[in-house]
Amino acid sequence: ACGNSDTGEQPADDGKLTLGFSQVGAESGWRTANTNSIKESAKEAGIELKFDDAQGKQENQITAIRNYIQQKVDVIAFSPVVESGWDTVLKEAKDAGIPVILTDRAVDSADKSLYKTFIGSDFVKEGKLSGEWLVNETKSATGVVNIVELQGTTGSAPANDRKKGFAEAIAANPNLKVIASQTGDFTRAGGKAVMEQFLKANPKIDVLFAHNDDMGLGALEAITAAGKVPGKDIKIITIDAVKDGMQALADGKFNFIAECSPLLGPQLMEMVKKVKAGETIPQRIETVETTFTPEQAKAALPTRKY
């Protein structure tokens, strides 16, 4: 960072790069692992990190980004809670000459010059892989298969894209029907509360598709309380593959998980350095990930880092 700071803070004039990062919040196990990854890798890379937790609110993220612009950080990175509504603040950063990197979630801005790159998963693919597993699992089923869906945070890229990918995949079998779909906001409490309503309103639920592990874990409580056996009476598909989710899968309470890696820190720090050095970087950096069955979860758990 350079120049005088009028915020009362000491400017970092030790030659260190300063990164301002605005995080979504602390809604899930995934998010905690993501925050840890960013903090640890900043330290390892010798980058000074200014970190803000927006508590799930877009307006808090916009405020944090404006503060980073004022503080003249070298690079701004953030995980946008929802997809739309970013053009104005992104233009402000661009006009101030501060490069922006998107991590984890995308924005829907038409002007791609507003950010340098987007590092993160292909959420449509995660939804598709989940749906394809179900199509294969139910290929010999004769009657209608009733599915309930717990969506992530309304308006967020992972909720929009996972829903889309799943719907596209299950269209392959007209017997697969989504009978209810609502947001559980990516939290355990949300997953539990919405699953309770689903169970009350629908006597026959065959499958739960939850947009993340945490909502699936919350739903487990509702399912058990309703006297049903998770993983058997109701098959459960989730996304993320954090430790608690993997444990539920290994225990046979979940049936399938599409992985979404939260370990984005090292790539982010690498790109921060490249951007500052004036190197061109790819517009899109896609995270490599896999899927897990119960057997694969058992094998992977002992060395799972998050």
Binding footprint of ligand GYE on the chain (CB under 6 A): 27-28, 30-31, 104-105, 158, 186, 212, 214, 239-240, 260
Query: DSSP letter at 199?
Result: H
Which residue, 71 or 120, has its beta carbon nearer to ligand GYE?
Answer: 120
Closest approach, Cβ 124 to ligand GYE, in A, equals: 12
Exposure b/e, 118-152, CB count within 10 A at least 16 = b: bbbbbbbbbbbbbbbbbbeebeeeeeebbbbbbbb
Closest approach, Cβ 266 to ligand GYE, in A, equals: 17
Tokens, residue 58: 């877009």
- Euclidean distance between the first and the last CA atom of the chain, given in angstroms as a whole number: 32
> Quick one: which of 36, 37, 100, 41 has its CA closest to 65?
100
DSSP per-residue codes, 61-128? HHHHHHHHHHTT-SEEEE--SSSSS-HHHHHHHHHTT--EEEESS----S-GGG-SEEEE--HHHHHH
Closest approach, Cβ 185 to ligand GYE, in A, equals: 9
Residues 93, 120, 35, 60, CA torsion sign = positive
Closest approach, Cβ 101 to ligand GYE, in A, equals: 15
> Quick one: which of 283, 271, 272 has its CA closest to 114?
283
Amino acid of residue 73? V
User: CA-CA distance, 250 to 146, in Å (whole number)?
Assistant: 24
Closest approach, Cβ 280 to ligand GYE, in A, equals: 26
Which residue, 31 or 72, has its beta carbon nearer to ligand GYE?
Answer: 31
Closest approach, Cβ 216 to ligand GYE, in A, equals: 10
Which residue, 23 or 138, has its beta carbon nearer to ligand GYE?
Answer: 23
Closest approach, Cβ 289 to ligand GYE, in A, equals: 11
CB 150 within 8 A of CB 182: yes
